[in-house]
Copies of this chain bind each other. A is one copy, B any other.
Amino acid sequence: MHEEREVVVLRYGHRPGRDDRMTTHVGLTARALGADRVVFPDNAGQSAETVRDITDRFGGPFAVELRGDQKAIVRDWAGVVVHLTMYGERVQDVEDEVRSAVNADDEDLLVVVGGEKVPWALYERADFNVGVTNQPHSEVAGLAVFLDRLFEGDELEREWTDADRRVVPEATGKTVVDAGDDVGDESGDAADESAD
């Protein structure tokens, strides 16, 4: 998370239309929970646009890339590859090992999130196939829990740069201020900020 090494989330496979929202949510979750970059398939331009727009407004650094060579990215990745899959080893059993592998040699980490069926070669290439439970649920949920555990919660403390606006956490309210401001209440104007 903005250290020397880079944590990149790769969305593997995307069906335009059907997957737009899931792919967008993968990208926004990667950004919000500490990844440095997300890579979408090149047919996911609409999702890329949404994630870039949120980054422009709410800050970064966070990069969004469209690439057509998902297989090559995985095959040629120089660092550690984690593939999130319900068939993998239990996250609670391997998270320390993943963290050690990344930290020991300051290795970049590629986190692969499946969309359409992923090729068997990905299971073989991955240094870790990891299951956030071995139950069918949601690639977005799996990514979120994995990142929160990988960073041990530190990602929740990150600061954002180049933001236009900032939400002020509060017990009851919807307060958005200009980034940098500590006052000002645009309560009620913020309902359009959801990722929806």
A-to-B contact residues, CB < 8 Å: 21-22, 25, 28-29, 31-33, 54, 58, 85-93, 114, 117, 123-124, 126, 128-129, 131-138, 140-145, 148-149, 153, 156-157, 160, 166-175, 190-191, 193-195
Contacts and interface: CB of A to CB of B under 8 A. Distances in A.
Given A25-B140, A25-B141, A141-B141, A170 B135 contact: no
Contacts of A142: 144
Contacts of A160: 135
18 contacts: A25-B138, A28-B137, A29-B141, A31-B137, A32-B133, A32-B141, A86-B193, A87-B167, A88-B170, A89-B169, A90-B169, A92-B153, A93-B169, A114-B194, A123-B172, A129-B170, A140-B140, A141-B144
A169 B58 contact: no
Contacts of A193: 86, 136
Contacts of A58: 135-136
Question: Secondary structure of the A side of the interface?
Answer: mixed
Nearest to A34: B133
A33 B156 contact: no
Given A21-B22, A144-B145, A145-B148, A89 B171 contact: yes
A111 to B, nearest CB: 14
A141 B33 contact: yes
A1 B136 CA distance: 18
Contact of A172 (B129, B133, B166): B129
Contact of A156 (B88, B92, B141): B92
Contacts of A143: 141
Contact of A123 (B31, B123, B126, B173): B173
A122 to B, nearest CB: 10
A19 to B, nearest CB: 9
